[in-house]
Amino acid sequence: LDAACRLLAADSARSRTVLDIAFAVGYESLSAFNENFRRATGLRPTEYRRLGKRADFTLALPPGYRSEFVLRLHRRDPNSVLERVEGGKLTKTFTHDARVGWLEMEFCDEQVYVGVSSRPVPDATTMRAAHSLAGRLLGLASDPAPFERKLAENPALAPLLGTRRGLRIPQTADTYEGLTWAILGQQVNLPFAYTLRRSLAELCGATAENGLRAHPTPAQVAGLDYADLTTRQYSRRKAEYLIDTSRRIVAGELPLERLAEMPAPQAEKILLAERGLGPWSANYVMMRACGFADCVPVGDSGLRAALRQFFAREHSPAAAQTLALMAPFAPYRSLAAYHLWMTLGDPA
């Protein structure tokens, strides 16, 4: 429905009806277009057209949506300067066209109210970017139904759902934020990775409000020296990987924002060609930042531990064994991996 969003946004004069746009993107009925558009975006087409008229919008959540998992994800670092969770409200910072902004997302039953603030004040383009960001954070593009049907047909795999029916994969705010996390999270424990993330944001992320900062852009990180990071607990190699990759993005040598539009093998090949990115980090970026449905972050210690626990193995699987154990979940291995990560927090 990306094409529909572009047409709805571009037709500011309203010369084309919603029905015209539905036909233009391949739908044969207005009702089917409205239903699919609302399921994928949380808004009706007419509501999407009105983005920018005011600084808020309300998204309809799919039936059975599990908002507690989104809040749990963003609550993991209580000291984060990039996002904050207070009760049922998530505040997330962003940058768009030199604007520093923040979303305040309040979950209520089957809806989420999204208030948008920015400096300067948000215009229509910023509001559409904020809507896209909200959809990514909610994982609206990740439909769990086919995966859950597949598991229901296999008694050996069905227990993986546990109490998590309806779980979706929230995407990172943008591809660069996902790539940055993949580099920072390599071969360190989670608390230390969060320390590195906060340090980077405090070093070069734009100030938002209430002590929050926006995630640094590729250009901001590309302008750093390695010493800026090594003096903040980064290893020399991690500093090189992050800064050098950011410089390649700025130079147009790494087409980061186009990866999601490519076939998965091509996207993986491009990521693996980058110094410092291996199978784990490439598949993590594809899964969490690009939305690919069938990724296996081979080598991830959490995934290995979860597979050992779920399949009652004596030892955590090596790479080949990980792929073999994950094979029955194809073509939904990304969601299977996300569920497996979640099992590590389940009661014994």
Which residues are known to be catalytic?
300
Cα(139)–Cα(201) distance, rounded to whole angstroms? Answer: 24
The pair phi, psi for residue 85, each rounded to 5°, is -120, 125
- Please report which helix (H) or strand (E) contains residue 24, including its range: helix 18-24
Tokens representing 49?
Answer: 């057209």
Question: For residue 99, what are the contacts with CB-CB under 8 A and spacing of at least 6?
Answer: 118, 119, 120, 122, 126
| Coil, helix or strand at residue 201 | helix
Q: Are 55 and 121 in contact (CB under 8 A)?
A: yes
Question: Which residues in 130-192 belong to E strands, given as ranges?
Answer: none
Helices 2-10, 124-138: axis angle to 10 degrees equals 160
Helices 30-41, 2-10: axis angle to 10 degrees equals 100
Cα(64)–Cα(61) distance, rounded to whole angstroms? Answer: 8
Closest CA to 131 of 207, 47, 65: 47
Closest CA to 342 of 136, 77, 146, 73: 73
Cα(62)–Cα(144) distance, rounded to whole angstroms? Answer: 11
User: Residue length, the chain?
Assistant: 348
Structure-token match 């950011």, residue found: 246
Q: Kind of pairing, strands 99-108 and 89-96?
A: antiparallel
- What is the end-to-end Cα distance of the chain in Å, rounded? 42
The gap from C-alpha 199 to its chain's centroid, in whole angstroms, comes to 21
